[in-house]
Amino acid sequence: MKKNKLPAQLLLGPVPAAMIGCGNGDINNIITLAWVGVVNSNPPLLSIAVRPGRYSHDLIRNSGEFTVNLPSVEQVAEADGCGTLSGRDTNKFERYGLTAVRGTLSCAPLIEECPVSMECLVEQTLSLGSHTLFIGRVVASYVAENVTDARGKIDFEKSGLLGFCSGNYLETVPLNLTLGYTLKKDD
């Protein structure tokens, strides 16, 4: 396989197109981020990278809270709009007909219409250059009943989680293969 060497650039994927809920108790906002990842298993920690100039940045910094809501591919327009418009000018919940729901956090709302959600408390904040990295501990997780399988797990056929890579939205389809399946086959 011949590969072309390119200037250093972020080609990681698929990454989530995650709709981040934040607020201050009065205002509820959404920012869609792809720079989201798991950084630790125990305790369960996620990171989200937010530019300091974004309206959501100070809402998250001041409240110490955010939610991570995973849209399905059917919600790609809402996800895209919530990543490009600013909450300074637009109430994104109203514009996109989304419902802010209070979970266990004081300020950061859940997005009712997203099939999977997590609530996070900020544990560490790192300034890395263009972005601030908020590391949050997952304190509660939610899965919609209509994307849950018989064992109580996410049915990835039904959830159709939206992905992203290098400026492009991606659909996800389950391969029906689970972690460690090749080792089990060897036994």
In the range 41-100, which residues lie near a second copy by CB under 8 A? 41-47, 49, 68, 70, 73, 76-77, 80-81, 83-85
Among 37, 24, 27, residue whose Cα is nearest residue 118: 37
Q: How far is the CB of 56 from a second copy (least distance, A)?
A: 16
Instruction: Identify the DSSP state of 71.
Output: P
CA–CA gap between residue 17 and residue 174 (Å, rounded):
17
Q: Considering only residues 14-33, where is the footprint of a second copy by CB under 8 A? A: 14-16, 18
| Residues contacting 39, CB < 8 A, separation 6+ | 45, 46, 47, 135
Q: Considering only residues 98-127, where is the footprint of a second copy by CB under 8 A? A: 103, 112-113, 115-118, 124, 126
Q: Considering only residues 122-181, where is the footprint of a second copy by CB under 8 A? A: 124, 126, 128-131, 133, 135, 137-146, 148, 152-154, 156, 161, 163-181
CA–CA distance from 174 to each of 46, 59, 108, 178 (Å)?
23, 35, 30, 10
Number of residues that bind a second copy (CB under 8 A): 94
Q: How far is the CB of 8 from a second copy (least distance, A)?
A: 5
Nearer to a second copy, 29 or 159 (CB): 159
Residue 63: other Cβ atoms inside 10 A = 18
